[in-house]
Amino acid sequence: MFDIQEELKKLPQKPGVYLMKDQYDNIIYVGKAVNLRNRVRQYFQNSRNHSPKVKRMVLQIKEFEYIVTDSEVEALILECNLIKKYRPKYNIRLKDDKNYPYIKITINESYPKVFMTRKLLKDKAKYFGPYTDATALKETLELIVKLWPIRTCNRVLPRDIGKERPCLQYHIGQCKAPCAGFISEEEYKKMIEEIISFLDGKYEKVIKELEKQMKEASENLNFEKAAKIKNQIDSIKRIAQKQKMINSAMEDQDVIAFAKTDNEALVQVYFVRGGKVIGREHFLLDGVDERSQKEIMTSFVKQFYAGTTFIPREVILQEEIDEINIIQSWLSSRKGKKVYIKVPRKGDKSKLVNMAAQNALLTLNQFGEEMKRKEKRTKGALEEIQNALGLDKNINRIEAYDISNTQGIESVGSMVVFEEGKPKRSDYRKFKIKSVIGPNDYASMEEVIRRRFTHAKEELKELEKKGLSLEEGKFSKLPDLILIDGGKGQVKVVIQVLDELNISIPVCGMVKDDKHRTRGLLYKGEEVRLPKGTEGFKLITRIQDEAHRFAIEYHRRLRSKKQIQSVLDEIPGVGAVRKKALLLHFKSVQRIKEASIEDIKKVKGIPSNIAENIYNFFHK
């Protein structure tokens, strides 16, 4: 039996992270410490002046674990990752995990490309953003493509110059065709420099150049071109007006302030890039009751910058934070340059913070009820399902499985994932059934579950060997609940496979009525019905529909692909490359069938004898 007092004596006097657990082995709190022994001991000393919330937490602690780190900064990083992973009950939790888009310019290439991305990599490319408004980003990219005829293809240049003819973009005037050598590297890079200048907010320089071109076009009586340039100038001016200049130093800053109710806080972040406000975003924190302003701000800063990809030069805060030097050092190491955290009390920066704080309060009042409704649809729905099934452990991740086939042809399985009541599409998986012949849903389901959880066990061993977290794997993260689109037979098969693999996860069948609509859950041989109209019932319906849609979509794609391939595969001399060439040229099998021998010979890579084979196949 776990003896807390004995375990306290074994704690090392080193920096690290500690995890508090309840009787069900749920992690209820994650913290970090400079000295693990001294920090964890404080929780169990009666003389300590703990807040009511901490006292409630201590009563639930039945066990704890700890991880020793080499430094306080390492402990800070690990704490952030574990809070994000386990979402402990007694930690302040960042509820909105947003991933912003950026504009990327691959200046590390000879002929750079400009496109949207959500990942910031250390690849010597140039990034602009984040853009909190996807429409604004799209509008900006569209304008760039109109103003500067740069390439959008994935050809490797200069390696592939001259290998293929210019594409359609060249013929419609949207690309200068560097792939064909129609523009020099110097000329092309001049366009890229102008785009960078534009994205840096130096609109006047771009407008001046365009006005010069418009004047020249007008003097040459090319009024159509002059009108087109005028429209481009108007578009740039519209984008310029949307961005508010707030400092002349052209600095990158995040301005952070919050407003608080009883158990929630809404944090407002202004993104300032190159001295201009390019966007703002709000985030909701829960578990903030009985927490000081300092604790709330510290928790947000740690969790927000553990997840975001861009670190500005300055972070301007409404409140002081704990361990400011450690956090500043951590942010600097992530950025690769010195980062400054400031808490202004007067001047322009203080006015910015006050503006963010006022907007946080307005947003909290405006959207507070709406956010609570959304939470009821997600977190509230999970609690309803948990209570209906009588589960001790909280439900966060649900995996649902379905099988699709047509009389046993091209059987496929689907796995959809919902976390916190919302679909997590990046974790969806498709399975092409390999070991089952004919329409056997039980055997197909067995194969899917066995493959999915065998992969999980193998990957878990590999991650442990390399010292990596579960987040690094594709299959190692296990669900809290498995839902199967089927009845007792399918559920029994799944439980048997999990028992063989020594994995314990609750399994439910999703029961349908006579009209093929969701009716309830089948758990431990009994039907569990959630009242219609409840959030739990609606969530199960959404999950069941999504699993079915995903399986059907994959199944149809495979059948369609097979129908196209099966005809062309029978023609002597036609392999994968020639098949692709034929379909790209004629667009369909029917048009290939209707084509003459001469038409077929025109296809690149199709010699005369193969063209005759194709023609004869369809006509004799």
Which tens digits make up the pLDDT trace of 80-115?
Answer: 888 887 888 889 887 765 666 888 899 888 899 999
Examine the domain organization and report whether 460 and 552 are in the same domain.
yes
Q: If DSSP codes are grouped into helix, strand and coil, which group holds residue 613?
A: helix
Q: Which two tokens stand for residue 341?
A: 């955290």
pLDDT band at 330 (very low <50, low <70, confident <90, very high): very high
| CATH code for position 598 | 1.10.150.20
pLDDT average, residue stretch 443-464: 87
The answer to whether the beta carbons of residues 164 and 154 sit under 8 Å apart is no
Side by side, the strands of the sheet bearing 126-128 are: 114-117, 102-105, 126-128
Q: At what angle do helices 576-586 and 535-568 cross, to 10 degrees?
A: 100
Percent of the chain with pLDDT over 90: 20
pLDDT confidence of residue 50:
79
Examine the domain organization and report whether 481 and 586 are in the same domain.
no
Examine the domain organization and report whether 126 and 210 are in the same domain.
yes
Q: Strand runs (DSSP E) across 202-333, as ranges?
A: 244-245, 253-260, 264-273, 276-286, 314-317
Examine the domain organization and report whether 144 and 123 are in the same domain.
yes
Q: Strand runs (DSSP E) across 481-533, as ranges?
A: 481-484, 507-512, 518-523, 526-528
pLDDT confidence of residue 47:
58
For residue 486, which of 494, 476, 478 has the smallest C-alpha distance? 494
pLDDT confidence of residue 471:
55
For residue 275, which of 233, 310, 244, 309 has the smallest C-alpha distance? 244
pLDDT confidence of residue 239:
65
> Does residue 379 fall inside a structural domain?
no
Q: For the chain, what is the domain count?
A: 5
Percent of the chain with pLDDT over 70: 88
Residue ranges making up the domain that contains 479:
397-561
pLDDT average, residue stretch 408-414: 73
Neighbours of 242 (CB within 10 A): 13
Which tens digits make up the pLDDT trace of 468-496?
Answer: 655 556 677 889 999 998 888 899 999 99
Examine the domain organization and report whether 574 and 533 are in the same domain.
no
d(CA 35, CA 16): 7
Examine the domain organization and report whether 232 and 130 are in the same domain.
yes
Which tens digits make up the pLDDT trace of 110-147?
Answer: 899 999 887 777 678 888 766 766 776 777 788 888 78
> Does residue 542 fall inside a structural domain?
yes
> Does residue 386 fall inside a structural domain?
no
> Does residue 373 fall inside a structural domain?
no
**Cis upstream peptide for 130 (omega within 30°):** yes
Higher pLDDT, 92 or 343: 343
| CATH code for position 295 | 3.30.420
CB neighbours of 42 closer than 8 A, spacing ≥ 6? Answer: 48
Examine the domain organization and report whether 69 and 197 are in the same domain.
no
For residue 195, which of 106, 313, 131 has the smallest C-alpha distance? 106
pLDDT at 438 over 80: no
The answer to whether the beta carbons of residues 547 and 428 sit under 8 Å apart is no
Q: Tell me the CA end-to-end span of the chain in Å, nearest whole number.
A: 82
pLDDT average, residue stretch 497-521: 87
d(CA 25, CA 393): 9
Neighbours of 16 (CB within 10 A): 25
Average pLDDT, the chain: 83
pLDDT confidence of residue 247:
55
Examine the domain organization and report whether 71 and 188 are in the same domain.
no
Phi and psi dihedrals of 257, rounded to 5? -145, 165
The answer to whether the beta carbons of residues 38 and 13 sit under 8 Å apart is yes
For residue 51, which of 29, 33, 66, 80 has the smallest C-alpha distance? 29
Examine the domain organization and report whether 48 and 120 are in the same domain.
no
Neighbours of 318 (CB within 10 A): 23
pLDDT confidence of residue 472:
55
> Does residue 615 fall inside a structural domain?
yes
Examine the domain organization and report whether 232 and 268 are in the same domain.
no
Last residue of a domain, one of 511, 529, 561: 561
Higher pLDDT, 286 or 83: 83
> Does residue 97 fall inside a structural domain?
no
For residue 291, which of 26, 4, 29, 35 has the smallest C-alpha distance? 29
Least confident of 58-62, 226-230, 318-322, 394-398: 226-230
pLDDT confidence of residue 320:
92
Q: Which residue has the tokens 């193998």?
A: 458
354-363 in b/e form (b: 16+ CB < 10 A) is ebbbebbbeb
> Does residue 375 fall inside a structural domain?
no
| CA 519 vs CA 34, 206, 485, 523, 552: distances in Å | 53, 61, 12, 13, 21
> Does residue 376 fall inside a structural domain?
no
Examine the domain organization and report whether 240 and 107 are in the same domain.
yes
pLDDT confidence of residue 51:
80
pLDDT confidence of residue 619:
82
Examine the domain organization and report whether 212 and 338 are in the same domain.
no
